[in-house]
Structure 1
Amino acid sequence: MKHYTRREWLKTASAGCAGMAFLTTPITGLAQALGSGPVRVLVGMGAGGATDSIARLYGQKLLDQLGTAVVIENKPGAFQMQAINSVKDAAANGRILYMGTGSSLSLFPAIRKDVTYDPMKDFSFIALTGISSAVITVNAALPVKTLQELVEYSAKNPGMVNYGSAGIGSANHIKTEYLKLASGLKAEHIPYKSDTDILIQVASGTVHLCITTIQSAMPFIKDGRVRALAVTAPKALSYLPGIPGTEEVGIKGLEAIEPYSYFGLVGPKGMPDALIQELNSAINKVTAVPEVQTRMRDTFYTEPFTGTPDEFKTMNQREIERARELGARLKLDL
């Protein structure tokens, strides 16, 4: 399986942001193309999570670029299918967009049999906004301090260790199964409905471990309710100092866990190329604003990205292929 390092991912971000000029007035042609009334950005999850928060940040800042209001609409449920179907069925005029995630744009289409859309055919790729790593946590009372110790503990206590996920086929389910395959970890799966649900159960001791977004886990880590063992990035991250990355834990073959997720705006298929390019320019300019980069990193624990629509589309195709290889290795029947 071809692995693209975080450095290769971040090269796109640094190159794009470094050369971006800040713009505070609307792009005239874009404002005319969009017409009157708000632009709707659909989010396939509930309010308050990372995807929703990033969508709202961009919605606020895009007002200056588009010259029109941006309304965020939450359509949770059915693995984001309510939001996805609404975008698929929309007119290709840029008035309805979707804040896609790594799960909905690559992982689910590659692995789940019940997915009825093809992101490479059904969407117009506009702009990647950021990628995020996850953190592997355990109950604070579990007698392990490192990922290697966790693997050894599970071997010495067969059938006694479990892990939680946000549901069968979710990102943390699939990524934890890969962790088990690569490391030899022995753990039984207990599905829940959200990252917060899992973390509450890990903190209580009902569940022993989980892989979740850093944004969800950080309050539990800070107050000592759970212990962080590793992040899914290859190296330690500045906002979790002292917590090793997958290249630093002494276990080989963990690279396919990263990227844990990513975020990007797509629209219905068939959007005019000129409209896609202008929306991409507007979104990239928002990403380049220092306040946005600070919030992405310090609040959402996500690395901001800029790039072209073609780069986003090519990257997504690459991630679909990697996810298919991962699914074949795991032999999951989803």
Structure 2
Amino acid sequence: MVDTRISRRAFGAWAAGAALATPLAGLAQSTFPQGGRPIRILVGLAAGGSLDAQARSVARKLTEIAGTTVIVDNKPGASMMLSATEVMKSQPDGYTLLYAPSSLFAQNPHTLSTVPYDPFKDFTPITMAAKGPLVLTVHQSLPVKNAKDLVAWAKANPGKLNFASFGNGTSSHIYAMAFAKATGIEITHVPYKGTAEAARDVLEGRVQAYFDAAPTAIQNAKTGRIRMVGVASPTRMLAAPEVPTFTEQGIPGLDLTSWIGFVGPAKMPPELVQKLNTMLVQALNAPEVKEFYATGAWETAPSTPAELTHEMHVAYDRWGQMVKAIGFEKQ
């Protein structure tokens, strides 16, 4: 028979250890971040782009707030899934974060045949960073001033309207197909290998229409060579309030705003998530950071972890509905 009795000395040692366990665990969280240990922010696109520049603006401010170095680590490739996979596999200790657009969580699972992560089970939402819609741009040679004019022109000239995109299955492609379905027009899809090539050919008039990101759409519209005829958002842009939404123009289903957020790997302790949220929200609310985002036609939109979780589910469901409605097959 096994003796289950415990000596007084053994019991005392066990009790002392148990009493220390909880305070020590709390202490480990309270000392985050440790001086000298850098926090890495992974970005799934190459250095020099707008996503990279935004992350670096936050990293500079976060370095001041956190009291430790915050670095941006670019991991481009596989529709930004290389960076997501690395963060997913990292330790949930707060030192490895992902800065990524909504497409990584909401669009990729619906448009790509192989996605190596679950957008809800493999990450811990921390805070939204910013919001910014896609804008429908057209070459100035088209005799249209808004989206309704474009629809009328397309119906009067069947088979003549070309839409550029920055790749098959990208948001610019899906939005073009959704626009065509919602308005009953016929379009020809012209895919490119990236945003720069697509925007260039619309500027040159080789392609007539393109759903572009707000920063480049606004910049290119200033040349007079393209027009902005509709914004895919529930509300008008602060940076270009003269551009009406599609809903205002009687075109439904395109009011899905893109956003960018910070997440970490799954199973991060709640206390750690809250601490990171507090620091990141403070950084995003800093005047110089807000101003930097605004110069790119993005609006900072820090949130609670729960609010970002909600937005991830909303975006996932909406993208699923949009992809299904247009009959898009996974690539």
Category of TM-score, reference length = shorter chain: 0.7 to 0.9
Aligned match of 1:228: 228
Amino acid at match of 2:31: Q
1 CA distance for matches of 2:115 and 2:203?
33
Offset of 1:309 from its aligned partner? 0.9
Aligned match of 1:301: 297
| 2:187 is aligned with 1:187 | yes
2 CA distance for matches of 1:145 and 1:74?
39
Aligned match of 1:286: 283
Offset of 1:34 from its aligned partner? 3.2
Aligned match of 1:178: 178
Amino acid at match of 1:275: L
Aligned match of 2:316: 320
Offset of 1:189 from its aligned partner? 0.9
Offset of 1:306 from its aligned partner? 2.2
Report 1 or 2 for greater relative contact order, CA contacts < 8 Å, sequence distance ≥ 6: 1
Q: CA, structure 1 residues 214+126, in 2 after alignment: closer, same or farther (shift >3 Å)?
A: same
1 CA distance for matches of 2:81 and 2:237?
32
2 CA distance for matches of 1:153 and 1:92?
54
Aligned match of 1:310: 306
Paired residue for 1:268, among 252, 265, 269?
265
- The two structures, once aligned, show a CA RMSD in angstroms of 1.8
Offset of 1:129 from its aligned partner? 0.9
Offset of 1:30 from its aligned partner? 6.6
Aligned match of 1:12: none
Aligned match of 1:86: 86
Q: Confirm or deny: 8 A CA contact 1:235 1:248 kept in the other structure.
A: no
Offset of 1:29 from its aligned partner? 7.7
For residue 113 of structure 2, give the secondary structure of its aligned residue in structure 1: coil
Q: Confirm or deny: 8 A CA contact 2:256 2:315 kept in the other structure.
A: no
Offset of 1:201 from its aligned partner? 0.5
TM-score norm. by structure 2 comes to 0.86
Q: Which runs of 5+ in 2 are unaligned?
A: 1-26
Range 202-211 or range 231-240, more displaced: 231-240
TM-score norm. by structure 1 comes to 0.85
Matches within 5 A, 1:37-186: 37-186=37-186
For residue 141 of structure 1, give the secondary structure of its aligned residue in structure 2: coil
2 CA distance for matches of 1:178 and 1:257?
11
Amino acid at match of 1:300: G
For residue 120 of structure 1, give the secondary structure of its aligned residue in structure 2: coil
Q: Confirm or deny: 8 A CA contact 1:196 1:216 kept in the other structure.
A: no
| 2:303 is aligned with 1:333 | no
Q: CA, structure 1 residues 133+285, in 2 after alignment: closer, same or farther (shift >3 Å)?
A: same
Amino acid at match of 1:268: P
For residue 321 of structure 1, give the secondary structure of its aligned residue in structure 2: helix
Q: Confirm or deny: 8 A CA contact 2:147 2:246 kept in the other structure.
A: no
2 CA distance for matches of 1:183 and 1:295?
36
Q: Which runs of 5+ in 1 are unaligned?
A: 1-27
Q: Confirm or deny: 8 A CA contact 1:139 1:202 kept in the other structure.
A: yes
Offset of 1:284 from its aligned partner? 0.9
Q: Confirm or deny: 8 A CA contact 1:125 1:309 kept in the other structure.
A: yes
Q: CA, structure 1 residues 313+145, in 2 after alignment: closer, same or farther (shift >3 Å)?
A: same
Matched positions, count: 303
- Runs (4+) of structure 1 exceeding 4 A deviation are 28-31
Deviations 1:15-48, CA, capped at 9 Å, x for gaps: xxxxxxxxxxxxx987832333221111111223
Q: CA, structure 1 residues 234+310, in 2 after alignment: closer, same or farther (shift >3 Å)?
A: closer
Q: Confirm or deny: 8 A CA contact 1:175 1:257 kept in the other structure.
A: no
Q: Confirm or deny: 8 A CA contact 1:129 1:264 kept in the other structure.
A: yes
Range 214-223 or range 276-285, more displaced: 214-223
Amino acid at match of 1:184: G
For residue 169 of structure 1, give the secondary structure of its aligned residue in structure 2: coil
2 CA distance for matches of 1:234 and 1:149?
20
Q: Confirm or deny: 8 A CA contact 2:85 2:116 kept in the other structure.
A: no
